[in-house]
Amino acid sequence: MAAGVPGVGIAAIFFVLAALWAVVAEVALTLRGQSSLARWKVVSRQAGIAAGVAAAAVLTSVGLDRLAGDRGPGAAVGGVVPLTLLLTSGVLVLVLGGAALHRVADHGRGAAAALLELEERARPTAIGGASEAEPAGRALA
């Protein structure tokens, strides 16, 4: 991962992909009559920011290639930024794939249910070892 190169980090790639998916999802909602102007304003704003991030990545790639030596039109295709973008995308796929596998292994309960279960396990017991679910008289017996 290249530090300081805009648009090629995991967060930037995830944001751009999420913004593009939001446009696709909003088109589907519009076709079903379930969208609104307010929703489209939010989606349009996010898509605009994503376009700016992508443009910054392309301009950075071209600029770095020009600094490395003018090799003519299309030189940016073989530059360092596309390689970095590819490697970072691979890491993002691994992270999202791991999250999907975790959800499958967790039987679709989701993170909220898992956190609630952990919280229940970590809840301190009452004096004498009785938990909230267990009456105090039973703990002494």
pLDDT tens digits, residue range 37-67? 999 999 999 999 999 988 888 887 777 777 7
User: For residue 133, is it within any domain?
Assistant: no
- pLDDT at position 2: 46
Per-residue confidence band for 29, with pLDDT thresholds at 50, 70 and 90 = very high
Q: Using CB atoms within 10 A of its CB, is residue 89 exposed (0-12), middle (13-18) or buried (19+)?
A: middle
58 belongs to a structural domain: yes
Give 77's DSSP letter: G
60 burial level (CB within 10 Å; 0-12, 13-18, 19+): buried
Q: Which amino acid is at 109?
A: R
Query: Which residues constitute the domain of residue 92?
Result: 10-126
- What is the pLDDT of the chain when averaged over all its residues? 76
Tell me if 139 is assigned to some domain: no
Between 103 and 140, the more confident residue is 103
Return the pLDDT at 72: 53
Residue 15: inside a domain: yes
- 39 within domain boundaries: yes
Comparing 55 with 74, the larger pLDDT belongs to: 55
Using only C-alpha atoms, the chain has a radius of gyration, in whole angstroms, of 25
- Say how many domains are in the chain: 1
Q: How many residues does the chain have?
A: 141
Q: Does residue 4 sit within a domain?
A: no
Q: Which two tokens stand for residue 9?
A: 């980090």
The answer to the question of residue 1 being in a domain is: no
| Residue 132 located in a structural domain | no
